[in-house]
Structure 1
């Protein structure tokens, strides 16, 4: 059985994005093992001169590296991802490269009508940066709008059409993960580029 990481893209204690990931963990449990990983204990990024990473960061990085893929569920704040998610990705690309060539599926829930479409686009840009360089599944937005009303008391999605769409996208993601395994020939070269990359030297 494949192992996935479900990364909660917020430090909020009450988040429908966390709910969505837990729904996916339960809903797809017969096909994949999804471990929910929190980012709320990660300290503010400070670019330590000794390059020593907080233990919580190294633990998350190790889990991502060992996983077959990563699902990130992000809310949208001011047309962008939350500062806490950006902060986590800053740490997870500071002289470590767990996302390099890692298959990633992006989902998002928000209280409004548009889901988290702009935040998802922002996250795609970040994950495609030279220091992260993840493999992001294309054309696969799952946008859960009006998320406060989307779940019942058992944390099940009420809208069957939304469930069907999520099932189809997740099935595509499983195929995407397998395809990405065939595209690892440049992994070492990509890692060397990431290690040698520096914005200061441009």
Structure 2
């Protein structure tokens, strides 16, 4: 069975993005396992003087590396992703590169009408950075607007239309994961590019 990581893209204790991933974890349990991973306990990113990655970061990196794919659910703060998610991705691209060529699906829930659309666009740009270089499923936004009212008391999405849309996107993602596994010819060089990339190195012809 396909094993996925559901990355909760916020440090909020009461997050509708966590609720969305929990719903997906339960709803799709017969076709995939979705293991929820939190970022709320990660330290603030600062290049360690000794170059040693914190255990909490390595723990998440190892899980991503071993998974078939990753679902990231992000809220939207000031038209962008939360600082806590950027912080996590900073760590997960410093000396470790678990996202390189990893299949990623982006979802998002927000209290407003746009359902984190601008944050999702920003997240795609971040995940395309040389040190991350994830394979992001194209044309697959799942935007959950008015998320405070979007769930029933049992945690199920209230809108059947939204459930049907999510089911279709998830099936597409499983196919995307399968296809991505076959795109391995450039993986070694992509990993080397990520490892060798540095904003601090002088440019050479």
TM range (shorter): over 0.9
- What per-residue deviation string (whole Å, max 9, x for no partner) do you get for residues 134-166 of structure 1? 000000000000000000010000100000000
- Provide the aligned C-alpha RMSD in A: 0.5
2:154 alignment partner in structure 1: 154
TM-score (norm: length of structure 2): 0.98
Matched, 1:68 2:53: no
2:176 alignment partner in structure 1: 176
Where do residues 1-202 of structure 1 align in structure 2 (5 Å cutoff)? 1-201=1-201, 202=203
Distance 2:119 2:47 in 1: 25
- What per-residue deviation string (whole Å, max 9, x for no partner) do you get for residues 98-157 of structure 1? 000000000000000000000000000000000000000000000000000000010000
Distance 1:54 1:182 in 2: 32
Instruction: Name the SS of the counterpart of 1:36 in structure 2.
Output: strand
Distance 2:148 2:193 in 1: 43
Instruction: Name the SS of the counterpart of 1:199 in structure 2.
Output: coil
Distance 1:51 1:179 in 2: 35
Deviation, 1:70, is 0.1
TM-score (norm: length of structure 1): 0.99
Name the count of aligned residue pairs.
202
Structure 2: gaps spanning 5 or more residues = none
Deviation, 1:200, is 1.5
Instruction: Name the SS of the counterpart of 2:18 in structure 1.
Output: helix
Distance 1:148 1:81 in 2: 18
Distance 1:181 1:155 in 2: 32
Distance 1:181 1:84 in 2: 29
Distance 1:152 1:55 in 2: 37
Instruction: Name the SS of the counterpart of 1:79 in structure 2.
Output: coil
